[in-house]
Structure 1
Amino acid sequence: MLTELDKAQDKAIAAITAPGTQLEVIEKTVRGVPLKLFKNAPPTMREFFQFFFNHNAAREFLVYGEERLTFAEVYAKALRIAAVMQHSYGISKGDRVAIAMRNYPEWIMAYIGLVHLGAVVVPMNAWWQPEELAYGLADSGTRLVIADEERLRRLGAIEGMSVPVVAVRTSHGVAAEHGADLLDDLLESGPTDTWYLPPLGPDDDVSILYTSGSTGFPKGAVSTHRGVVHGAFSYLVQGLALLKLSEASGAYVPPQQIMLLSVPLFHVTGLVPLMLVSIAIGRKFIMMHRWDAGEALRLIDKEKCTYFVGVPTMTHEIMSHPERDKYDISTVTDWAAGGAPRPAEHVERLAKAIPTGKPAIGYGLTETNGVGAGILRESYLARPTSTGRASKPVVEIAILDDDGNALAPQAVGEVCIRSAANVRGYWRRPKETADAFDKAGWFHTGDVGYLDEDGFLFIVDRKKDIIIRGGENISCQEVEAAIYAHPAVMAASVFGLPDDRLGEIVGAVVYLKPGEKAEPEAIIDFTRQHLSAFKVPARLWVSAEPLPRLGSEKIDKVSLRKIYREIHRAEAA
């Protein structure tokens, strides 16, 4: 049964998107599929930025440490970056340019400037090590990298590295050592205006975000301008509906929303629902360089943040922090999560621990530009194991069987999402694109779940061979490949282990070659040479017996996962 909040949300969204309104929704065919579109949405991200930055020009936008910048100041610097990229490096429409850095104001400015030129932005995971960075550069065909000092050092460790690098927040000595130009120097002496802006259209590519799936190396999910605009607008509608409900209830509405940016911008959550929606609604962005629960509490208190989004681990650490009561966090109205499941008991615990704010969660993927389903406040408390209903008015969610047939409520099948926000496919991977995106426009998520009679989605399992650790997708095949590189390993199997804080951690079991000896910690340490820290196994067992196999001779991962999850639980207890 729908809650009163569900009904009120539906009514508010219907009014916001009705015919004749600024956010009117129409139906239009895109790549052969009829989809719901926002009739008056900007055709490209260039127009999106032009309109919203000018509209919010006088407001304060970015706060990073002692730095405070208005929307106008950020946009002006972004356009200067665009001019430097064009004049100094010849960056033009369709060129792939990577951003490899932690959260800095320059990340946002570089993204805006590159999109202004029509370049395709490639956000790179800041945790990636040299091998992973080298793969991303080669796979995407990147022409230029904009990197901070730590990523510059890692890029310098790539054998035969030939892609030019522009360094951000880096000393002159380190930049010179690695043959990089400094962005500040280029901006000080370079041009301030672009000499030519190519025409852009809704179907032009705007970004490639890498996502770890079940096939080993990460795949590049390619978004079009239309897809990203509609992803941002989908979230915009949800926010405006809540604003209307708050106003109608007589609740205090601050003159400016203030968000703590606690997740990385290279993730789709940081990029679309947080950064781009903040630009659209004039929301202030309090930037964290890296996650720290104590620092988050301090910033929420100091800046009077009104909204929080992070992986479930983050809200758990905040409500459990020993110094939480030292800080005033009552200004936060909603404690939202995404990127991983939130244990049901944490939902009620959060509501009791921080009664001035309400829990919320969303479900979306890189391939959907973060858009999918959502649930919040009393609706979430009523269904703490659900990820909510399809985000109205442009998103459809269906449960399909292996033949692509839609299943009835309560029937379990693969969760599939269709909307104008979906990416167009995977970069230079036609087979994987065809496998994941069917001709009817459905993206097959690889998650297994069901819809109840009211359209609420419940995720129960995954088809894909991935681990989700604190919001980071980890390919089991990629970790297995790193383990197999150890000279003593004969067979290996990698799987997720349950973890109260991170949701899942990486577990592995290996069987050694005859006559070989290796301690579990030694094998774990070996994988650190090839993997980002978050992919390194947290637990590894050496089996005295050959790993069990199926009739196909594949390792029986299902039985191994069951056995070692029980061992892990018993040892943890």
Structure 2
Amino acid sequence: MGETVPVNNDEPLDPAKLAATAFKLLTENPLFKVGEAEIRGNTYRVFENAPASVVGLFAYGASHGDKDFLIFEGERLSFAEVFKRACRFANALRDELGIKQGDKVALAMRNYPEWCISYMAVISTGAVVVPLNAWWKADELKYGIEDCGAKTVIVDGKRLEYLKPLKEELGLRLVLARDKGEGADYSYEELLEGSNIETPPAVDIHPDDDYCIVYTSGSTGNPKGVVLTHRGCISALMSWSFIASVIKEMRGGAGIFGDNPGILLAIPLFHVTGSHSIFLLSFLVGRRVAMMYRWDPKQACEIINQEKLTNFVGVPSQSFEMMQAVDEAGCPTLLDIGSGGAKRPSNHVRKLKEKFKKANPSSGYGLSETNAMGCVISQADYLKRPDSTGRPVPPLTDIKIMKDGEEQPTGSVGEVWIRSPANFRGYHNMPKETAEALTPDGWFKTGDLGKFDEEQYLYIVDRMKELIIRGGENISCLEVENRVYQHDAVAEAVVFSVPDEVLNERVGLAVYAKEGMSIDAKELRDFIAEDLAGFKVPERIWVSPLPLPQLGTAKFDKLTIRQISLQHPPALSV
């Protein structure tokens, strides 16, 4: 899910005035002029005067000059300095490592300023950046690297230790950033210091060239590489900027991010909410980004107050925890509390408004496959409709509800389909899955079930895919089940979601032992944790005394198994 653009006003937006202002901007501001372009055989509405590539957006962001951009534990880097370092590192990657247009370069590190600079640098060479999940362990990292074909990986110290044993097997070159360690082939700092060219390499990048591969868990087991293009990313960022410009015009020139805009980065940059809605959008609009090393709700409130930040965007559990942790003084500079990655419980919306009186809760809907673009909702609209994820983002996004090949009328539930130039090109190395997800005329089938109300507000009501969304992280039930079955004592296993007020969902597991064997729930959990990232490891485990119920098709009856399990205490709860 993506982030909403915040609105610093408690009054609802008048739909007629909103439409009139949007039309005025579309006709008078050349930046937002909408035309048409053919993309992969289909015609789409596009921003006619948009930069040809994301590199053009970097150059625009650099115009914010010496203003603070990245703030991390006492370090401060300006917009201009970040751009210069990205250019120097890009030229070093090209000249020293031979990185060329179309190559895949992976990032395997936690949130650091070096992540942002490396991301920009890789893209500036015309290569394809591959942000890997920093919570993955060795086998998961190996899968992602092998799947995308990257031979160069920029790592921090922990990821270096994971990947050193795989270097020879995968033929990797490792570039170590931030940390000290043995076994890397290059040092980020040395490459940066050895380069003095502060302009991007000269590369002819087409708008529909690939720029990024983001991995997202699906119902098929292994994570899927979502291939994003330059035009797709630009379409999302400029659409959010368009909304901001419309509302600024309606407010008589008052900036919607505040007079001194700043946002807290407390979610992973390897997700599109972090990379797009926070990092890239902030570089474009001149908003400071204060980076957290590790999530802590009390510290988050302290940083917001110290830096006088105006925006927060995180998964719903984070804003809930901030609400519990904030002191009596509150966060007086905070104007917006955005939610992305998962649906925020509706009862949290009004509680947030009561706790952070000057801030408006907001939310959005988007996916990795759409560059985080989809719907947005905020302020009075959100307080009135806390279960909604908002209206489609203008002016490029179309959304419809489909069932049995027919578009559904208002109020009817069906699969949410999205069409815009921000849609992904396909799943890397997965033609079958790509054909199943993208229609010939360019609609993306999200796998989410939803409906529209009379005013075109979208409501997500369920999922078609066997996914658990834990604190914004997508988890494939099949991937976890595959690991469970590697345990010698497990005969049957079913993974399902367990409702949770803070994280939205947790990972539940029901197992049945092989004949003559027994299962110790804690030992089983420890076994699963050896190979899977921590967020995927079951937190509630039920050991069944009987074989798990099956349907007539010999498939497990997951609905019944989940219902029965939730009615009984688990053998293990963490």
User: TM-score per shorter chain, which class?
Assistant: over 0.9
Q: Of residues 367, 370, 374 in structure 1, which corresponds to 2:369?
A: 367
1:102-125 superposed Cα distances (whole Å, 9 cap, x missing partner): 111111111111111100000001
Q: Secondary structure at the match of 1:561?
A: helix
Are residues 308 and 8 of structure 1, via their aligned partners in 2, closer, same or farther at CA, if it must alter by over 3 Å?
farther
Deviation, 1:254, is 4.1
Is residue 2:441 matched to residue 1:440? yes
Q: Of residues 82, 93, 104 in structure 1, which corresponds to 2:101?
A: 93
1:151-179 superposed Cα distances (whole Å, 9 cap, x missing partner): 111112448353111001121xx2x2x24
Is residue 2:420 matched to residue 1:419? yes
Q: Secondary structure at the match of 2:122?
A: helix
Q: Of residues 337, 352, 364 in structure 1, which corresponds to 2:354?
A: 352
Whether the 8 Å CA contact 1:130–1:157 is kept in 2: the answer is: no
Is residue 2:478 matched to residue 1:474? no
Q: Of residues 34, 43, 47 in structure 2, which corresponds to 1:38?
A: 47
Aligned to 2:522: 521
Aligned to 2:5: none
Deviation, 1:5, is 4.4
Higher mean alpha-carbon deviation, 5-14 vs 391-400, is at: 5-14
Is residue 2:277 matched to residue 1:273? yes
The whole-number CA distance in structure 2 between the counterparts of 1:76 and 1:428 is 35
Q: Secondary structure at the match of 1:231?
A: helix
Root mean square deviation of aligned Cα: 2.1
| TM-score, normalised with respect to structure 2 | 0.94
Are residues 426 and 296 of structure 1, via their aligned partners in 2, closer, same or farther at CA, if it must alter by over 3 Å?
same
Q: Of residues 77, 85, 107 in structure 2, which corresponds to 1:77?
A: 85
1:3-27 superposed Cα distances (whole Å, 9 cap, x missing partner): 5444444333333222553211223
Q: Secondary structure at the match of 1:360?
A: strand
1:257 is matched by which residue type in structure 2? P
Whether the 8 Å CA contact 2:176–2:184 is kept in 1: the answer is: no
2:339 is matched by which residue type in structure 1? A
Aligned to 2:240: 235
1:209-259 superposed Cα distances (whole Å, 9 cap, x missing partner): 0000100000000011111111111111122233334446x7997443111
Whether the 8 Å CA contact 1:208–1:222 is kept in 2: the answer is: yes
Deviation, 1:28, is 2.8
2:242 is matched by which residue type in structure 1? V
Deviation, 1:502, is 0.1
Whether the 8 Å CA contact 2:377–2:389 is kept in 1: the answer is: yes
Whether the 8 Å CA contact 1:498–1:565 is kept in 2: the answer is: no
1:443-462 superposed Cα distances (whole Å, 9 cap, x missing partner): 11101111111111111110
Count of residue pairs the alignment pairs up? 562
Are residues 482 and 386 of structure 1, via their aligned partners in 2, closer, same or farther at CA, if it must alter by over 3 Å?
same
The whole-number CA distance in structure 2 between the counterparts of 1:19 and 1:562 is 57
Aligned to 1:288: 292
Are residues 533 and 435 of structure 1, via their aligned partners in 2, closer, same or farther at CA, if it must alter by over 3 Å?
same
Is residue 2:30 matched to residue 1:21? yes
The whole-number CA distance in structure 2 between the counterparts of 1:104 and 1:528 is 26
Are residues 109 and 479 of structure 1, via their aligned partners in 2, closer, same or farther at CA, if it must alter by over 3 Å?
same
Q: Of residues 129, 140, 150 in structure 2, which corresponds to 1:132?
A: 140
Q: Secondary structure at the match of 1:127?
A: coil
Q: Secondary structure at the match of 1:530?
A: coil
Deviation, 1:423, is 0.6
Is residue 2:264 matched to residue 1:260? yes
Aligned to 1:384: 386
The whole-number CA distance in structure 2 between the counterparts of 1:291 and 1:252 is 26
Deviation, 1:514, is 0.3
Q: Of residues 243, 249, 255 in structure 2, which corresponds to 1:244?
A: 249
1:28-58 superposed Cα distances (whole Å, 9 cap, x missing partner): 33222222111111111122212231x2123
Please give the residue correspondences for 1:151-170 in structure 2 after superposition, counting only pairs within 5 Å: 151-158=159-166, 160-170=169-179
Whether the 8 Å CA contact 2:248–2:255 is kept in 1: the answer is: no
Higher mean alpha-carbon deviation, 7-16 vs 433-442, is at: 7-16
Aligned to 2:119: 111
Deviation, 1:355, is 1.1
Q: Secondary structure at the match of 2:31?
A: coil
1:462 is matched by which residue type in structure 2? R
The whole-number CA distance in structure 2 between the counterparts of 1:195 and 1:202 is 17
Deviation, 1:290, is 2.1
1:260 is matched by which residue type in structure 2? L
1:180-229 superposed Cα distances (whole Å, 9 cap, x missing partner): 32111222235647896331101111000000010000000001111111
Is residue 2:466 matched to residue 1:465? yes
Is residue 2:312 matched to residue 1:308? yes
Is residue 2:348 matched to residue 1:331? no
Are residues 9 and 561 of structure 1, via their aligned partners in 2, closer, same or farther at CA, if it must alter by over 3 Å?
farther
Aligned to 1:209: 214
Are residues 266 and 251 of structure 1, via their aligned partners in 2, closer, same or farther at CA, if it must alter by over 3 Å?
closer
Instruction: Work out which structure has the larger RCO, using CA pairs closer than 8 Å and 6 or more positions apart in sequence.
Output: 2
The whole-number CA distance in structure 2 between the counterparts of 1:328 and 1:245 is 29
Aligned to 2:193: 188
Q: Of residues 306, 319, 324 in structure 1, which corresponds to 2:323?
A: 319
The whole-number CA distance in structure 2 between the counterparts of 1:357 and 1:472 is 26
Deviation, 1:310, is 0.5
The whole-number CA distance in structure 1 between the counterparts of 2:196 and 2:507 is 48
Higher mean alpha-carbon deviation, 518-527 vs 182-191, is at: 182-191
| TM-score, normalised with respect to structure 1 | 0.94
Whether the 8 Å CA contact 1:5–1:378 is kept in 2: the answer is: no
Q: Of residues 193, 205, 225 in structure 2, which corresponds to 1:200?
A: 205
